[in-house]
Amino acid sequence: MQRKYVFAALLVSLNVSAQLTKDTTKWYDKIQLRGYAQVRYNGLLQTNEDLECEQCDKSWGGDNDFFIRRMRLIFYGQLSSRVYFYVQPDFASSSLSTSLHFGQLRDAYFDVGVDKESQFRFRIGQSKVPYGFENMQSSQNRLPLDRADALNSAVSNERDLGVFFYWAPTSKRKLFSTLVSSGLKGSGDYGVFGVGIYNGQVANRPESNANKHIVTRVSYPFEIKKQIIEAGIQAYTGKVTLVSTSPGVNYATDKLYDDKRVAGTVVLYPKPFGVLAEYTIGRGPQFDKTLDSITTQRLHGGFVTASYMLNLKNNVLIPFVRYQVYQGGKKHELDARSYNVEELEIGVEWQMSRYFELVMMYTMSSRRFEDYENQDNYQRGNLLRLQAQVNF
């Protein structure tokens, strides 16, 4: 009999303790921290010092040296069943080629769930614009060291300030999460369907016109036996104001240009063979050297990445190859610089543990990138690139 009383008292004590813990939990107890850092060296086997890629990696070309590409700290937490927040600064931003390692905000947003499971949710603040799988995919997970020109030229640094609405059933949200946590190189949870309105001048820049960009995306992952496939389509429209022009170049009086694109995505997740392919078409500002002017022109391009995942005891080895092309302007660069790109990259990612990995990638690049001050600029060359990454 005494044992029953003792057992009952113990249950009551545990229940009271649980209630007290529940009642006294503070919002700051729910904040979590993670991050990653990348250090690169691009100077091995370089054949052309004038070969550069401004939007890719500023340590390309010239006198290459060791370079901190990213130093990210991520603060995040589920404050309640319907409110989630995410803040990510980067302490390796480069304002100038002579000034490195500035702190700059990358993400600062909160999600508000419409329903209890947050299948329907609004994302408010500065976050990634849902355009392109590789753009959505974290650089912590991506195999090639830089995003492909065609899709990434749509949104520099992949982010902007606005409001986005996402929907996905709970089962698909769990699958999106698993595709990242299991090491299958997923893009994260940006919903099966997304739509949003944002400034259009990219992150950390003020809006420069009265127009807003509108974007929409549909991306659906599904399983066939042991394979997982994801297919998607996305599009956006808006007007962009040029922020960097050369003296002497001709441009629209208000520097305002149409900015419209559509893209398709197909993903075969690496189990063990994987493929990621994306292609975009559209219209946007581009430098025209025959007129010494910036005009609205057509653009197109895409890429295919193939990979094979090898699990070797406590190590993971992923050889990969990517081929990409792009012909069009880059609205965020000087004079909406004109590009004609063809590039082949062959590499391997070696995950020594969940905390540390190495990437070695050989790049064979052909790039024509021209603006008013630098016309007839065709560069071709090869280089071996190395990256060490720590995850915490």
- Residue 365 maps to a domain: yes
Instruction: Tell whether the model's pLDDT for residue 352 goes beyond 90.
Output: yes
Which of 48-57, 204-213, 323-332 is predicted most confidently? 323-332
> Is the alpha carbon torsion for 139, 143, 144, 147 positive or negative?
negative
How far from 189 is each of 151, 163, 229, 351, CA to CA, in Å? Answer: 19, 16, 15, 23
Confidence of residue 380 (pLDDT cuts 50, 70, 90): very high
State the DSSP H helix or E strand holding residue 4, giving kind and residue range, or none if neither.
helix 2-24
For residue 313, the model assigns a pLDDT of 86
Compute the distance between CA of residue 249 and CA of residue 287 in angstroms, rounded to an integer: 9
- Residue 17 maps to a domain: no
Domain assignment of residue 255, given as a range: 27-391
What average pLDDT does the segment 334-357 reach?
A: 97
* DSSP letter, residue 210: S
Instruction: Tell whether the model's pLDDT for residue 10 goes beyond 60.
Output: no
Closest to 331 measured CA to CA, from 144, 54, 97, 50: 54
Confidence of residue 34 (pLDDT cuts 50, 70, 90): very high
83-93 and 102-113 beta bridge pairing: antiparallel
Q: What domain count does the chain have?
A: 1
- Residue 7 maps to a domain: no
What average pLDDT does the segment 81-98 reach?
A: 87
Confidence of residue 375 (pLDDT cuts 50, 70, 90): very high
Looking at the DSSP bridge assignments, the partners of residue 365 are 343, 381
Looking at the DSSP bridge assignments, the partners of residue 190 are none
Confidence of residue 281 (pLDDT cuts 50, 70, 90): very high
- Residue 166 maps to a domain: yes
pLDDT digits (tens, 9 = 90+) for 177-195: 999 999 999 999 999 999 9
- In residues, how long is the chain? 392
**Residues near 81 by beta carbon (within 8 Å), at least 6 away in sequence:** 113, 116, 118
Amino acid (1-letter code) at residue 45? L
> Is the alpha carbon torsion for 258, 332, 305, 315 positive or negative?
negative
| Percentage, residues of the chain above pLDDT 70 | 93
> How large is the greatest C-alpha to C-alpha distance in the chain, in angstroms?
98
Confidence of residue 93 (pLDDT cuts 50, 70, 90): confident
- Residue 15 maps to a domain: no
Domain harbouring 307, CATH code: 2.40.160.10
**Residues near 30 by beta carbon (within 8 Å), at least 6 away in sequence:** 77, 78, 79
> 30-34, 57-61, 168-172, 331-335 — which is least confidently predicted?
57-61
Closest to 74 measured CA to CA, from 65, 62, 87: 87
Tokens of 90: 């980067």
Instruction: Tell whether the model's pLDDT for residue 99 goes beyond 90.
Output: no
- Residue 124 maps to a domain: yes
| Percentage, residues of the chain above pLDDT 90 | 83
> 18-22, 240-244, 330-334 — which is least confidently predicted?
18-22
Confidence of residue 349 (pLDDT cuts 50, 70, 90): very high
**Residues near 11 by beta carbon (within 8 Å), at least 6 away in sequence:** none
pLDDT digits (tens, 9 = 90+) for 54-78: 888 888 888 777 999 999 999 999 9
Confidence of residue 370 (pLDDT cuts 50, 70, 90): very high
Rounded to 5 degrees, φ, ψ at 146 are: -130, 155
Looking at the DSSP bridge assignments, the partners of residue 346 are 321, 362
Task: For 249-293, give the DSSP string.
Answer: -B--TT-EEEEEEEEEEEEE--SSEEEEEEEEEEEEEEEETTTTE
Instruction: Tell whether the model's pLDDT for residue 174 goes beyond 90.
Output: yes
pTM tops 0.75: yes
* DSSP letter, residue 250: B
- Residue 16 maps to a domain: no
Instruction: Tell whether the model's pLDDT for residue 11 goes beyond 70.
Output: no
Instruction: Tell whether the model's pLDDT for residue 316 goes beyond 70.
Output: yes
pLDDT digits (tens, 9 = 90+) for 225-268: 899 999 999 999 999 999 999 999 999 989 999 999 999 999 99
Compute the distance between CA of residue 332 and CA of residue 334 in angstroms, rounded to an integer: 7
- Residue 385 maps to a domain: yes
Can you tell me whether residue 284 is helix, strand or coil?
A: strand
What average pLDDT does the segment 254-283 reach?
A: 97
